[in-house]
Every structure is written in C-alpha cells, then in structure tokens.
C-alpha cells in the first residue's frame, strides 16, 4: 500500500507512521527526517534546508520532489510506503501522482490527521526525540522510562528539535494552514482523503487509522 499521512505539525504523523510501517513491513519515508539527516552531514543542500526549517518555512519543491523520487524508488519501498511530511504543496502532490504514474503505480489513500491548534503547540513544545532511532517522546504525555534517555537506546540522551520552540512551532502551524491544508481538498476531490481525528491516546488514534485502512484493503492492490 502507498499511503500519505497528511496533517499539521505535531499531530502524530511520525508516531503513527512509525508504528504502521513497522507492523505492515512498509518503508517509512519522513522528509523532515531526511532533511535533518542531510543538515547534520553538512551538505550544501542540508545546510540550506536547515535555514528554512529553523525559520519554520518549507524547503523548495524541486529539492523535495527530487529527494522523494529517489527514496521511493529504493528496494525497501517496493512493497509499500508511508509518506510522512510529503507532499506539503500542490506542486509536490502533482509530482507525486506523476512519478507514481510513470511507474504504473498509484497512491492508495491519504489519511488526514487533525487536532486543535493549542493541543499541537503543547505536543510540539514538549517533544523530545531519540537521536539514534528518531522515536518521539513527550515530556508529559509520553515520557521515556527515565525521562532522559531513549527506552530502546539507553545511552542516547533525548534531544529537543530546534524548530520546536514555541515561536517556530506557531510559524510552522501558520505555514501548514496557508500552504499545506489546501491539499485536503485536492485529495478529497479525487476520493483519496479520509479524515481521522488525531486526539485521544496514541493507541486510540492508531486504532482509528487501522479501521480505515482495513476497510479500504479489499479495494487496494
Ligand atoms: P517534519 O519533520 O515533517 O515536521 P512536521 O510536519 O512539522 O511534523 P512533526 O514531525 O513536527 O510532527 P508529527 O506530526 O510527526 O508529530 P509526532 O508524531 O512527532 O518537517 C520539519 C521541517 O522540514 C518543515 O518545517 C520544513 O521546513 C521541512 N520539510 C519537511 N518536509 C517537507 C516538504 N515535503 N516540503 C517542504 N519542506 C519540508 O508527535 C509530536 C508530539 O506529540 C510527540 O511528542 C508525541 O509523543 C506527541 N503525541 C503524538 N501523538 C499523540 C497523542 N495522540 N496524544 C498526545 N501526544 C501525542
């Protein structure tokens, strides 16, 4: 299955996408993670991307489309993938359809996770991330066992993302409203969008997503 997780910053795309991909054996493709990785390696593209990310702005469409074209053609993505963070603009969505079409494939579903804005700010400003496996924790909602290290990488101290400070988090939410939320209508028009409330426990949200996907499975190749 080829799936897009659409939704504002902090709604749980990474948390849910990681679990779904692991359970189903699909590749998890997180464009935010790919950019942070490129930035940490200091490539010119990565450093330019970091400037945009730190300002809460989007990275250029052509850069993102090139990255996703390359990543989705890798062998681990053949049996299916979950896209977390892509597409984020209408040109990116058009490019995704075109690149899948070239390969005789199509996007099976777009799950649109939603939550109230103040809840999103609370989630973002309390998030901690494992630098090794990128698993997201939350200082209050989902702390690790000792609150400091990753449960799965006990020597890795959890870190805060630079773009999770409140001002930047709010800027990212505004950018989502202006540039990414129109994609909901884009996918609704073509019958691919399913809205899933992203509030409640992580397990409750995951259960809703599974219900939607299980119901669509018979129609999906
Ligand atoms: P990216 O890394 O994609 O960030 P994002 O979309 O802003 O999403 P987040 O990772 O912040 O949130 P999430 O929805 O994954 O939530 P999570 O599961 O972590 O992008 C970063 C930047 O890269 C962008 O700003 C842009 O600059 C650039 N970029 C990336 N892709 C791009 C593209 N396609 N085009 C252009 N630029 C691009 O959860 C958040 C927190 O909430 C965690 O602490 C978690 O524990 C907690 N939580 C999760 N679920 C629940 C729940 N049900 N209840 C309570 N807490 C919960």
Q: What is the pLDDT of residues 147-172, one digit of tens each?
A: 999 999 999 999 999 999 999 999 99
pLDDT at 221 (0 to 100):
41
Q: Could you tell me which residues come within 8 angstroms of residue 165 by beta carbon, excluding any fewer than 6 positions away? A: 125
In the structure, what pLDDT confidence band is assigned to residue 40 with cuts at 50, 70 and 90?
very high
The pLDDT tens digits for 53-104 are: 999 999 999 999 999 999 999 999 988 999 999 999 999 999 999 999 999 9
217, pLDDT greater than 80: no
Question: What's the whole-number mean pLDDT along residues 3-23?
Answer: 97
Cβ partners under 8 Å of residue 216, min gap 6: 108, 109, 194
Percent of the chain with pLDDT over 70: 98
Phi, psi (rounded to 5 degrees) for 99: -70, -35
Residue 161 annotated in active site: yes
Average pLDDT over residues 15-21: 96
Catalytic residue among 18, 36, 172, 192: 172
Contact 3, 86 (CB under 8 A): no
Q: Check whether 190 has a pLDDT greater than 50.
A: yes
* Residues contacting 208, CB < 8 A, separation 6+: 196, 197
69 C-alpha to ligand 1 centroid (Å): 21
Which pLDDT value is given to residue 72? 96
Q: Does residue 13 have an active-site annotation?
A: yes
Distance, CA of 140 to CA of 155 (rounded, Å) = 21
Question: What's the token pair of residue 149?
Answer: 């290290």
Cα 126 to the chain's mean position, in Å?
18
Q: Which residue has the tokens 């649109």?
A: 112
Q: How far apart are alpha carbons 219 and 210 in whole angstroms?
A: 15
Tell me the CA–centroid distance for residue 32 and ligand 1, in Å.
8
Predicted structure pTM score:
0.96
Whether the per-residue pLDDT at 106 is higher than 70: the answer is yes
Mean of the per-residue pLDDT values of the chain: 95
* Largest Cα span, the chain: 48
Mutate to test the pocket of ligand 1, among 83, 136, 180, 201 (most ligand atoms within 8 A of CB): 136
Pocket flag, ligand 1, residue 181 (CB < 6 Å): no
Whether 64 lines ligand 1, by a CB cut-off of 6 Å, is: yes
Catalytic residue of the set 19, 50, 123, 127: 127
Asked whether 173 lines ligand 1 (CB < 6 A), one says no
pLDDT, position 16: 97
32 lines ligand 1 (CB under 6 A): yes
pLDDT at 35 > cutoff 50? yes
> Per-residue DSSP letters for the chain?
-EEEEE--TTSSHHHHHHHHHHHHTPEEEEHHHHHHHHHHHT-HHHHHHHHHHHTTPPPPHHHHHHHHHHHHTSGGGTT-EEEES---SHHHHHHHHHHHHHTT----EEEEEE--HHHHHHHHHTEEE-TTT--EEETTTB--SSSSB-SSSTTPBPB--GGGSHHHHHHHHHHIIIIITHHHHHHHHTT-EEEEE--S-HHHHHHHHHHHHHHHGGG--
pLDDT of 28 reads 97
**Which atom number of ligand 1 is nearest to the Cα of residue 85?**
3
């Amino acid at each position: 299955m080829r799936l897009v997780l659409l939704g504002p910053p902090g709604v749980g795309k990474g948390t849910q996408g990681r679990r779904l991909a692991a359970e189903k054996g699909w590749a998890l493709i997180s464009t935010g993670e790919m950019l942070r990785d490129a930035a940490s390696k200091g490539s010119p593209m990565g450093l330019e991307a970091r400037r945009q990310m730190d300002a809460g702005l989007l990275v250029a469409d052509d850069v993102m489309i090139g990255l996703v074209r390359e990543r989705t053609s890798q062998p681990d993505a053949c049996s299916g993938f979950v896209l977390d963070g892509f597409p984020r603009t209408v040109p990116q969505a058009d490019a995704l359809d075109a690149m899948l079409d070239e390969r005789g494939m199509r996007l099976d579903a777009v799950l649109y996770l939603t939550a109230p804005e103040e809840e999103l700010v609370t989630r973002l400003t309390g998030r901690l991330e494992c630098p090794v496996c990128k698993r997201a924790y939350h200082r209050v909602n989902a702390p690790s066992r000792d609150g400091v290290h990753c449960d799965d990488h006990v020597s890795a101290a959890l870190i805060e993302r630079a773009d999770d400070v409140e001002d930047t988090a709010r800027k990212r939410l505004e950018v989502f409203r202006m540039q990414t939320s129109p994609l909901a209508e884009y996918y609704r028009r073509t019958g691919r969008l399913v809205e899933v409330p992203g509030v409640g426990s992580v397990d409750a949200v995951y259960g809703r997503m599974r219900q939607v996907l299980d119901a669509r499975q018979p129609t999906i190749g």
